[in-house]
């Protein structure tokens, strides 16, 4: 999608979707580049991103600190525009689900994990150099969010689903994405044993015939991509 239509569509969104403003300067929070974007499957994901049309629109559900999937997509395609949705409500890191880069290069736990600085501030710092291509929407998402974005005219080339991993929320998001954006590449993260909701949701999507096996592709060991070819 061209820049102007994206801006017009964003301006049509209801008030609770208004874009977060970028500050004039970096936030004063300690650098925290922690993320939950697996290192496996990145090359396959990059290949799919490279195959998207010119100036692709990427919509991401679940951005966290922006240092993982978001930075990867923005780095992979310099002409990509990203719309990133998150409520940025995570304030602490649970011991059992530590992100990658939890510690910095000196071996110290990163500032965010020490409780220093809100998630959104870290996200803006991490995405600072890409800010002309990034639209941050702070909202609690559901499948209805997909309809709201689509009704405003947004037509992503790629959607990355990585927010609510419960079976029903995941399944409903996937269905709305497939229905409203039938030509988009849909990439779902955390399709792995640790997240049974995503595993069961994908199984249900196949059972219901939303996608055939040949319209899906594993990217590494925990991302699955869907692209309809009918």
Q: In the bound complex, what is the minimum distance in angstroms from residue 11's beta carbon to ligand SAM?
A: 21
For residue 151, give the DSSP letter.
H
Shortest separation between residue 229's beta carbon and ligand SAM, angstroms: 26
With 0-12 / 13-18 / 19 or more C-beta atoms within 10 angstroms meaning exposed / middle / buried, residue 169 is middle
| Cβ-based nearer residue to ligand SAM, 58 or 64 | 64
CB 32, min distance to ligand SAM, A = 11
Enumerate residues 6+ apart whose C-beta is below 8 A from 20: 120, 124, 136, 137, 138
What residues contact residue 209 under an 8 Å CB cut-off, 6+ apart?
none
For residue 109, the cross-strand partners are 103
The least distance separating ligand SAM from the CB of residue 169, rounded to whole angstroms, comes to: 7
* CA angle (38, 45, 216) in 5-degree steps: 105
Q: For ligand SAM, which is the closer residue by CB, 45 or 64?
A: 64
Query: 219 forms bridges with which residues in the sheet?
Result: 223
Give least dist CB 209 to ligand SAM, A: 27
- Distance, CA of 67 to CA of 1 (rounded, Å): 24
H-run or E-run covering 85: strand 81-86
What end-to-end distance do the CA atoms of the chain give, in Å? 22
**Least distance (Å) between residue 208 CB and ligand SAM:** 23
Nearer to ligand SAM, 8 or 221 (CB): 221
Q: Is the CB of 152 or the CB of 206 nearer to ligand SAM?
A: 152
Beta-strand pair 223-226/185-188 = antiparallel
Nearer Cβ to ligand SAM (119/205): 119
Question: For residues 174 and 168, what is the distance between their CA atoms, to the nearest angstrom?
Answer: 10
Residue in the shown chain whose Cβ atom is closest to ligand SAM: 68
Give the interface with ligand SAM as residue ranges (CB under 6 A): 35-37, 62-64, 68-69, 86-90, 140-141, 162-164
Least distance from ligand SAM to the Cβ atom of residue 47, Å: 18
Axis-axis angle for helices 42-50, 69-76 (nearest 10): 40
Of residues 2 and 89, the one with the C-beta less far from ligand SAM:
89
If the CB atoms of residues 90 and 203 are measured against ligand SAM, the closer one turns out to be: 90
């Amino acid at each position: 999608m061209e820049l102007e239509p994206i801006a017009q569509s964003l301006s049509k969104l209801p008030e609770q979707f208004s874009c977060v403003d970028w500050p004039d300067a970096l936030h004063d929070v300690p650098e925290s580049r922690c993320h939950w974007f697996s290192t496996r499957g990145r090359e396959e994901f990059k290949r799919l991103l490279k195959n998207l049309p010119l100036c692709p629109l990427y919509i991401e559900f679940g951005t966290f600190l922006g240092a993982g999937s978001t930075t990867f997509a923005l780095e992979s395609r310099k002409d990509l525009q990203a719309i990133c949705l998150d409520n940025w409500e995570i304030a602490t890191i649970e011991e059992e689900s530590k992100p990658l880069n939890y510690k910095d290069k000196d071996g110290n736990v990163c500032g965010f994990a020490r409780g220093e600085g809100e998630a959104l501030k870290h996200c803006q710092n991490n995405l600072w150099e890409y800010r002309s291509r990034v639209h941050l929407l702070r909202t609690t998402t559901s499948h209805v969010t997909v309809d709201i974005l689509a009704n405003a005219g947004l037509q992503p080339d790629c959607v990355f689903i990585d927010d609510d991993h419960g079976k029903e929320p995941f399944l409903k998001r996937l269905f709305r994405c497939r229905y409203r954006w039938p030509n988009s590449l849909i990439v779902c993260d955390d399709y792995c044993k640790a997240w049974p909701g995503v595993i069961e949701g994908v199984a249900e999507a196949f059972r219901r015939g939303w996608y055939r096996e040949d319209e899906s592709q594993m990217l590494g060991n925990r991302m699955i991509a869907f692209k309809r070819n009918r």
